[in-house]
């Protein structure tokens, strides 16, 4: 799987996870309707399925996915929550994406 496809798959996976967690938050904390749990469950099922599409060892995928998740979460903060990320938020994203790249594309023994 090439770099762009891998990255886009990570982004789609992160959005599915965030939506799956955000909808119950709306129900629990903001008094939104309980039926939001239905699309939340579907979104979390989609998240699990998307995570399974990566063709490498699952532990490595989970570790690298975390870096992309952090970036998507900060974008969610900005777009959905309407909170301006700080310089340190963006620095944290950069560090996590660098860690993700090291994990996914670094040298490793033959599997």
pTM for this model (two decimals): 0.84
Q: Of 30, 48, 46, 49, whose CA–CA distance to 38 is shortest?
A: 46
- Does the residue 94 lie in any domain? yes
pLDDT for the residue 3: 76
- Does the residue 61 lie in any domain? yes
**Coil, helix or strand at residue 56:** coil
| Residue 30 CB neighbour total at 10 angstroms | 8
Task: For residue range 26-48, list pLDDT tens digits in order.
Answer: 999 999 999 999 999 999 999 99
| Residue 89 CB neighbour total at 10 angstroms | 17
pLDDT for the residue 84: 97
pLDDT for the residue 6: 81
- Does the residue 26 lie in any domain? yes
Number of domains within the chain: 1
Provide, rounded to the nearest whole percent, the portion of the chain with pLDDT above 90. 62
Q: Which domain holds residue 59?
A: 3-105
Residue 111's pLDDT band, with cuts at 50, 70 and 90, is low
């Amino acid at each position: 799987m090439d770099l762009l496809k891998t990255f886009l798959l990570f982004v789609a996976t992160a959005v599915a996870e965030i939506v799956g967690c955000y909808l119950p938050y709306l129900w629990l904390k903001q008094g939104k309707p309980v039926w939001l749990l239905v699309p939340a469950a579907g979104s979390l099922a989609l998240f699990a399925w998307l995570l399974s599409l990566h063709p490498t060892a699952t532990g490595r995928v989970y570790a690298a996915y975390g870096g992309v998740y952090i970036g998507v979460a900060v974008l969610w903060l900005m777009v959905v929550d309407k909170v301006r990320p700080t310089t340190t938020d963006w620095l944290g994203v950069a560090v996590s994406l660098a860690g993700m790249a090291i994990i996914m594309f670094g040298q490793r023994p033959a599997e």
